Structure 1
Amino acid sequence: METLNLIKNDPWLEPYEDAINGRHQHALEKEAELTNKGKQTLSDFASGYLYFGLHRTADGWIFREWAPNATQIFIVGTFNDWKEEEKYSLKRITNGNWEIKLPADAMKHGDLYKLIVHWEGGCGERIPAWATRVVQDEQTKIFSAQVWAPEKPYKAKKRTFKPSVDPLLIYECHIGMAQKDEKVGTYNEFREKTLPRIAKAGYNCIQIMAIQEHPYYGSFGYHVSSFFAASSRFGTPDELKELIDTAHGLGIAVIMDIVHSHAVKNEVEGLGNFAGDPNQYFYPGARREHPAWDSLCFDYGKNEVIHFLLSNCKYWLEEYGFDGFRFDGVTSMLYYSHGLGEAFCNYGDYFNGHQDDNAICYLTLANKLIHEVNAKALTIAEEVSGMPGLAAKTEDGGYGFDYRMAMNIPDYWIKTIKEKIDEDWKPSSMFWEVTNRRKDEKTISYAESHDQALVGDKTIIFRLIDADMYWHMQKGDENYIVNRGIALHKMIRMLTATTINGGYLNFMGNEFGHPEWIDFPREGNGWSCKYARRQWDLVDNKNLTYHYMADFDADMLKIIKTVKGFQATPVQEIWHNDGDQVLAYMRKDYVFVFNFNPKQSFTDYGFLVSPGTYEVVLNTDNPAYGGNGFADDTVKHFTVADPLYEKEKKEWLKLYIPARTAVILKKTK
């Protein structure tokens, strides 16, 4: 057997060749099994949503459900006064499946319905596993499936869309908290008010959280009950489709934060005990429950579960026009331990038999399927252990993700801010952290995501400025703490965003230093939405300093987007001096210079670069971004020859770099 490219690209993986080959073969064999040895495609196999659930037919309705442990199933709803009736009784067909055919007048668009499932020794109300619309009664708080068959369903105007990934600039967002008012926002409000902001800010992709229906709003969408239903608390399926279509019209890709790592425990709303078999969808025994998340773990070894989850991927791509997925909780899927309490210090930790080969196989097939359905689709893994091959091509022995989250970077920035005084910030350490990645895998770099914005944690700006945000963000009233915070906020983002090798991510509002944390309505806060929103009026108010950070962010992204193939260009370190706290590196014709020194400015600080003329294109110290304007950015910088470096074709670029500032220069001649 020929050595896989994953191993060729990294000789340190050679001792684990058997394990890597075994995982690769497992996925190939499973694909052959599911596709009947290639007689159908993986996409054909993953079309369960077209078969299961409720569908309108030429002469009525058809409904199907997989429930092998059931003894009888009734469909009940507003159309039959929620009563079990023989004419609404499903018939058992093959492979544990159940079916009912109903006349056209048996139900109508908008009707509510559920299943009553009977099994040996019990019965219970259930929402169908494949339900595509689930709503909650405002008074009783009870969830029901809803017949969704509008006479004029939404038709996309932008039928074909190719995401711009040069580079991928992601705006992570949440529909419900995207508005200023203290309430749950809607798809329509997001489309009308927030999308234009994102387009203006320069992001080319939105990553939407909490799309799959979840009973508890405060779970941030991570305790999913109905995997095929777009959350109705934000609006209708058609309104979500219009949002996605509008984003495409603005050149913005839309990826979904998909949760296949676990499911909510709820039995009536979810899959927890669908037909008296608690293991229908989930692992048996001790592996059934996630020890940290109070949720249930899918059994990725069951073909029916693989069918359900793969069909779910295809459904969101085909039915809604999503451009891909950020897979949540991948570390939890990969390891029997869910990654809890493990350090992952060396390669042996990835191949020690503690990995769930079924989950690895599922993720590999999911990536294959997604790219088969849409070759331009984007997949991102949220994975903290550093598993090699996660974002390598499947044919090379990898798991097929397009990108992996660089989860080390936000951890590094928070640890630095929390534990080190400014004089101990080391540029060599920073540069290593933002460029430490596998050469054959693309990453999404980010300074902070939603994780850092939740109650119990703090955003970067809140760590830097803290209580002074409440008193000194008025222009003219800034104090040292505020000025320091704004300066470092810009520098941290610039270093993170300009060293990417795939993409960059920002969480909604963090680009302008949104104050405070996110706290969803719950019993402990009187079910208040005060902290589950975004205060856009702060960045809109030109008398406050928030807009400085937003304006800088937008101009930084503009520069990144003007450089063709920016994320694929090598990052070449020019210089670092931890004593001075100065760092410089190059990408193409651009030079990036940072002075993290809190006190000392440097005059005529020299860097060896290719000869030419260099002009400043972005400066964190520009008064337009709340800086002091100590340097004259209109000055052209001519390199100075040095006979010692003639053979290397290098000359000195000498700059004045004020304390706690960063600058981007472009070689113009």
Structure 2
Amino acid sequence: MSYLEDVSASAEWIAVAQSTHHDPHAVLGAHPRTDSVGRTTTAIRARRPFAEAVQAVFDDGSRLDLAHVAHGIWEGSHSGPPVPYRIATTYEGGHEDIVGDPYRHLSAVGELDIHLIAEGRHERLWEVLGSHPRALDGEQGVDFAVWAPNARSMRVVGDFNGWNGEGHSMRSMGGSGVWELFVPGVAVGARYKYEILGADGHWRLKADPMAQEAELPPATASVVTLSAYRWNDDAWLTRRAAGHAVAQPMSVYEVHLGSWRAGLTYRDAADPLIEHVLATGFTHVEFMPLAEHPFGGSWGYQVSGYYAATSRFGTPDDLRYLVDRLHQAGIGVIMDWVPGHFPKDAFALARFDGTALYEHADPRRGEHQDWGTLVFDYGRSEVRNFLVANALFWLSEFHIDGLRVDAVASMLYLDYSRKAGEWEPNIHGGRENLEAIHFLQEVNATAYRTHKGIVMIAEESTAFPGVTAPTDHAGLGFGFKWNMGWMNDSLEYMKRDPLHRSHHEGEMTFSFVYGFGENYMLPISHDEVVHGKGSLVSRMPGDHAQRLANLRAYLGFMWGHPGKKLLFMGQEFGQIGEWSVDRELDWWLLDQPSHAQLQQLVGSLNAVYRAQAPLWERDNDSSSFSRLGAPSWDPSVIAFERRDAHGGRLVVISNFAGVTRTGYRLALPVEGSWQEILNTDAAAFGGGDAGNLGMISAHREDDDAPAIATVTLPALSTLWFRYQPDPHLPTPSRW
């Protein structure tokens, strides 16, 4: 009596026949056994319902007939240990199909991998889970592996099996929650999903959480991919590793790729984007999320495929090409990353194995009611591992230079956007999400440890302490924090009529009080030009010319202010219409001289900023900054000094009044000559060209008196002056 006949009535055998067994390899495939006299024979078993004949085909061309036992399962035996074979199946009409047998292969997932996954410490998780083309035991195919600890059964379905997974049941890898199956004959480009029998007894069809490519939305299948890209950015990575972002110039151009210029792929975008960024002088491009997402209107902030570059613009290798080209042009690349929440779409992460797996089970912690999304369970080690490894994936596989972490405030507080009674305090009775804090510390510490020279940037809008403090000092470990207070206050100030600004000077200067408590980045992002807010230039008061003058003065102030810079696309040339994801920027505005001149100003701001160490070298050092004032006083005039570590001095003076101040007397830090190196009112930028003939001098009337300079301050302008210790030395040309 055969083994299968002996157990034909058992629940295990029935489960194998119905392809619901948690370990089909225990029954199917090749199984050696030794008889009482030490002879080895191998039983080969295959599940082939509806077949008329089944044979094992060996490498030498010989065949072994398998006999049908019951319920579509066939068995045969040969002498000796297991040898490679394929399965030949003859169906009605005489058609024969010969394919590799998934169940003859040992697992491609190693014991160490399983151990690290179970502990939540696998830093290269994407190399184990997901779909991986490889040769195994002499056969080419794809190894599929997925984490679903509460599933009762798992199948792989795809275009290689007619989307019927009954012949491709996966095996459970024990208590790790990982399921695995090597499928011979599957190739790069195959589309697939997982068919999951949940603990609740229902089957679900899910995209692979670890897929590295996905179908073009609205299609939702995962795609088998394998990178063939060869990088050419070694010089960039070497320079990056040798630097420290806090002490470097950094001005970021934020881009939504789909609406920057319509219809561009990743590869199409390389040349025009590089040309534009070089012309405007930004040091970095920041892409709004490029991970796969089902709804374009989410701007990428509701991610369904955390490891898959969105296929809207091409393949993963096409994105690698774009990043590589930017690096070769000397431009850094930052990407928005969204570990704070994910959508409820049924095909993706939500209730992946029939339970709240990736999301927190308690809706008080597991749902963002305002956004209609789910919140990760940061207290589960495997979920933290999924996210930490995802950050490392983008840094490793796509050479991304930094991640801007979205919605950090929503992660830090249990009561974020919740009313009383809708949240539960932590174990200490507080409102802080201790598990999320631990996760943020872990991802930052790990990213900085494994990738030298990268930056982790927090979009964090509260006064949470230590966002950019090191994790070994109880900080969150970010490199930079968006200064949302500066952004809100300064925009509120700039929208006021210049006549009234003198009563609200604190809105522009309060940031000087707290501006060195964190490593700050000053953001004018996409969030400031949507939802009825209008564009940046449209928020300025006055007629069109006055609006442009206000904007020029504001940008000059922003670039002089302590902190790194970020500007959303279109604002560099004065986009008038509010940004929409559905259309490209109004590039035609550059045909108008005033808008082309504004863009020229941004290019000059970036060029002078990068050349002047006082503006960036000691951004986080309060001793490098001083307010300036008397003897003249006008609350609409804001002046301050920036100093580098080598004696360089630079003064920024902004006149936000609507009238020019002539003969304005200002106390400067030292006597001598000060070169006007930037004036936002210059004719080249569309201004009235009022100024100071390129140079001012500061003198003391006696030894105890301050050094006084008399300056002309054009209406709605910002001027930069660089101290010249020796007036006989060559001075920079005026911008």
What is the CA–CA distance in structure 2 between the aligned matches of 1:583 and 1:362, rounded to whole Å? 41
Q: Structure 1 pair 662/426, CA: closer, same or farther in 2 (3 Å)?
A: farther
- Report the 3-state secondary structure (helix = DSSP H, G, I; strand = E; otherwise coil) of the residue aligned with 1:552: helix
- Report the 3-state secondary structure (helix = DSSP H, G, I; strand = E; otherwise coil) of the residue aligned with 1:655: strand
What is the CA–CA distance in structure 1 between the aligned matches of 2:608 and 2:490, rounded to whole Å? 23
Q: What residue identity is the alignment partner of 1:535?
A: D
How many percent of aligned residue pairs carry the same amino acid? 25
Residue 556 of structure 2: aligned partner = 494
Q: Where do residues 47-196 of structure 1 align in structure 2 (5 Å cutoff)?
A: 47-59=124-136, 60-86=141-167, 88-94=168-174, 95-103=176-184, 105=185, 107-119=186-198, 120-136=200-216, 141-149=218-226, 153-159=228-234, 160-163=237-240, 165=245, 166-179=248-261, 181=262, 183=263, 185-196=264-275
Residue 9 of structure 1: aligned partner = none
Residue 248 of structure 1: aligned partner = 327
What is the CA–CA distance in structure 2 between the aligned matches of 1:329 and 1:595, rounded to whole Å? 35
After superposition, the C-alpha distances for 1:161-205 in whole angstroms (9 at most, x for unaligned) are 4446312211111111110x4x4x321222121122112211111
Pair 1:630 & 2:690 matched: yes
- Report the 3-state secondary structure (helix = DSSP H, G, I; strand = E; otherwise coil) of the residue aligned with 2:355: coil
Residue 651 of structure 1: aligned partner = 707
Pair 1:510 & 2:571 matched: yes
After superposition, the C-alpha distances for 1:13-37 in whole angstroms (9 at most, x for unaligned) are xxxxxxxxxxxxxxxxxxxxxx99x
What is the CA–CA distance in structure 2 between the aligned matches of 1:381 and 1:341, rounded to whole Å? 25
Q: Structure 1 pair 245/584, CA: closer, same or farther in 2 (3 Å)?
A: same
Q: What residue identity is the alignment partner of 2:273?
A: T
CA contact (8 A) 1:324 1:370 kept: no
- Residue from 709, 720, 723 that aligns with 1:664: 720
Pair 1:444 & 2:521 matched: yes
- Report the 3-state secondary structure (helix = DSSP H, G, I; strand = E; otherwise coil) of the residue aligned with 1:198: helix
What is the CA–CA distance in structure 1 between the aligned matches of 2:271 and 2:158, rounded to whole Å? 35
What is the CA–CA distance in structure 2 between the aligned matches of 1:113 and 1:80, rounded to whole Å? 9
- Residue from 537, 547, 554 that aligns with 1:461: 537
- 1:301 deviates by 0.3
- 1:600 deviates by 4.8
Farther off after superposition, 543-552 or 373-382: 543-552
Compare CA radii of gyration and give the structure with the larger one: 2
Report the TM-score, using the length of structure 2 for normalisation: 0.75
- Report the 3-state secondary structure (helix = DSSP H, G, I; strand = E; otherwise coil) of the residue aligned with 1:45: coil
- Residue from 350, 357, 360 that aligns with 2:434: 357
Pair 1:229 & 2:308 matched: yes
What is the CA–CA distance in structure 2 between the aligned matches of 1:293 and 1:229, rounded to whole Å? 22
What is the CA–CA distance in structure 1 between the aligned matches of 2:514 and 2:418, rounded to whole Å? 22
CA contact (8 A) 1:454 1:518 kept: yes
What is the CA–CA distance in structure 1 between the aligned matches of 2:489 and 2:664, rounded to whole Å? 31
- 1:336 deviates by 0.6
Q: Where do residues 410-421 of structure 1 align in structure 2 (5 Å cutoff)?
A: 410-418=487-495
Residue 605 of structure 2: aligned partner = 556
Residue 642 of structure 1: aligned partner = 701
Residue 669 of structure 2: aligned partner = 609
- 1:44 deviates by 6.3
Q: Structure 1 pair 574/504, CA: closer, same or farther in 2 (3 Å)?
A: same
- 1:418 deviates by 4.3
- 1:603 deviates by 2.0
After superposition, the C-alpha distances for 1:568-613 in whole angstroms (9 at most, x for unaligned) are 1612111177745222211132121122221353324333430111
Residue 99 of structure 2: aligned partner = none
Q: What residue identity is the alignment partner of 1:314?
A: L
- 1:404 deviates by 0.3
What is the CA–CA distance in structure 2 between the aligned matches of 1:578 and 1:408, rounded to whole Å? 26
CA contact (8 A) 1:132 1:229 kept: yes
- 1:49 deviates by 1.0
Pair 1:333 & 2:333 matched: no
- Report the 3-state secondary structure (helix = DSSP H, G, I; strand = E; otherwise coil) of the residue aligned with 2:165: coil
What is the CA–CA distance in structure 2 between the aligned matches of 1:606 and 1:464, rounded to whole Å? 27
- 1:622 deviates by 0.7
Residue 638 of structure 2: aligned partner = 583
Long gaps (5+) in structure 1: 1-34, 343-348, 466-479, 521-528
- Report the 3-state secondary structure (helix = DSSP H, G, I; strand = E; otherwise coil) of the residue aligned with 1:46: coil
Query: Which structure would you say has the larger RCO, counting Cα contacts within 8 Å and 6 or more residues apart?
Result: 1
CA contact (8 A) 2:489 2:508 kept: no
Long gaps (5+) in structure 2: 1-111, 421-425, 644-648, 727-735
Q: Where do residues 365-384 of structure 1 align in structure 2 (5 Å cutoff)?
A: 365-384=442-461
Q: What residue identity is the alignment partner of 2:414?
A: Y
Q: Structure 1 pair 258/535, CA: closer, same or farther in 2 (3 Å)?
A: same
Q: Structure 1 pair 573/496, CA: closer, same or farther in 2 (3 Å)?
A: same
Residue 23 of structure 2: aligned partner = none
- Report the 3-state secondary structure (helix = DSSP H, G, I; strand = E; otherwise coil) of the residue aligned with 1:458: coil
Residue 16 of structure 1: aligned partner = none
Q: Which has the higher strand share?
A: 2
Q: Structure 1 pair 228/147, CA: closer, same or farther in 2 (3 Å)?
A: same
Q: Structure 1 pair 662/414, CA: closer, same or farther in 2 (3 Å)?
A: closer
Pair 1:519 & 2:580 matched: yes
Residue 571 of structure 1: aligned partner = 625
- 1:640 deviates by 2.5
Q: Structure 1 pair 595/418, CA: closer, same or farther in 2 (3 Å)?
A: closer
- 1:310 deviates by 0.8
- 1:431 deviates by 4.4
Residue 595 of structure 2: aligned partner = 546
- Residue from 397, 403, 423 that aligns with 1:319: 397
Pairs aligned (count):
581
What is the CA–CA distance in structure 1 between the aligned matches of 2:499 and 2:403, rounded to whole Å? 38
RMSD (CA atoms) = 2.5
Farther off after superposition, 507-516 or 593-602: 593-602
Q: Structure 1 pair 340/426, CA: closer, same or farther in 2 (3 Å)?
A: farther
What is the CA–CA distance in structure 2 between the aligned matches of 1:280 and 1:582, rounded to whole Å? 53
- Residue from 241, 255, 259 that aligns with 2:338: 259
- 1:117 deviates by 1.1
CA contact (8 A) 1:133 1:232 kept: yes
- 1:421 deviates by 5.4
Q: What residue identity is the alignment partner of 1:78?
A: D
What is the CA–CA distance in structure 1 between the aligned matches of 2:220 and 2:633, rounded to whole Å? 58
Q: Structure 1 pair 578/115, CA: closer, same or farther in 2 (3 Å)?
A: farther
Farther off after superposition, 566-575 or 200-209: 566-575
- Report the 3-state secondary structure (helix = DSSP H, G, I; strand = E; otherwise coil) of the residue aligned with 2:588: helix
What is the CA–CA distance in structure 2 between the aligned matches of 1:458 and 1:352, rounded to whole Å? 42
Q: Structure 1 pair 224/425, CA: closer, same or farther in 2 (3 Å)?
A: farther
CA contact (8 A) 1:43 1:369 kept: no
Pair 1:483 & 2:561 matched: no
Report the TM-score, using the length of structure 1 for normalisation: 0.82
Q: Where do residues 396-407 of structure 1 align in structure 2 (5 Å cutoff)?
A: 396-407=473-484
What is the CA–CA distance in structure 2 between the aligned matches of 1:329 and 1:604, rounded to whole Å? 44
Pair 1:301 & 2:379 matched: yes
What is the CA–CA distance in structure 1 between the aligned matches of 2:463 and 2:238, rounded to whole Å? 32
Residue 370 of structure 2: aligned partner = 292
After superposition, the C-alpha distances for 1:291-349 in whole angstroms (9 at most, x for unaligned) are 2111000000001101111110111111111112000000000001225689xxxxxx9
What is the CA–CA distance in structure 1 between the aligned matches of 2:662 and 2:380, rounded to whole Å? 64
